Amino acid sequence: MNLNFSVSELIHSDNAIKAGIDNTPTIKEIDNLLNLIFYCLQPIRDKLKKPMIITSGYRNMKVNFLAGGKANSQHLKGQAADFKVQGLKVQQIIDFILESGIEFDQLINEYDKWVHISYKKGKNRKEVFAVI
Ligand SMILES: [Zn+2]
């Protein structure tokens, strides 16, 4: 099990590869991804001690379109990631994050299929909701 997140985990996109799209972020977007890793994803992984699978991280405009993301999605800025945890339901993961006190901007249960978490340095709204 990989113990530390890498930026590449958050840039990888099967959709981008299939469509031949270069999903390389800018320096600003990488900076946002690093904050997301440092303040959200890595603390969750460290406390949860279970494998976390990132299903989507940074998405450029084309990749976001293919994923059906909103035009103002935080994935476009490198501020958001979607993930699953083996053996845990989405709501269990969300409850764990809330109890852990980990900081975030938005924490969303998306279709009971994955967790969407975002981080916006200095501007975290601490919003929690579900999308059905
Ligand atoms: Zn998302």
Does the pLDDT value for residue 71 go beyond 90? yes
| Alpha carbon of 59 to ligand 1 centroid (Å) | 10
Q: Decide: residue 113, CB within 10 A, 0-12 exposed, 13-18 middle, 19+ buried.
A: exposed
Nearest to 110 by CA among 125, 95, 93, 90: 90
Model confidence, pTM: 0.95
| Alpha carbon of 36 to ligand 1 centroid (Å) | 13
- The per-residue pLDDT for 2 is 53
- The per-residue pLDDT for 1 is 47
Domain 7-131 belongs in CATH node 3.40.50.10090: no
In the three-class reduction of DSSP (H, G, I as helix; E, B as strand; rest coil), residue 80 is classed as strand
| Alpha carbon of 31 to ligand 1 centroid (Å) | 18
Q: What is the mean pLDDT of residues 15-37?
A: 97
Q: Which two tokens stand for residue 60?
A: 């450029």
| Alpha carbon of 3 to ligand 1 centroid (Å) | 22
| Alpha carbon of 33 to ligand 1 centroid (Å) | 13
Does the pLDDT value for residue 3 go beyond 90? no
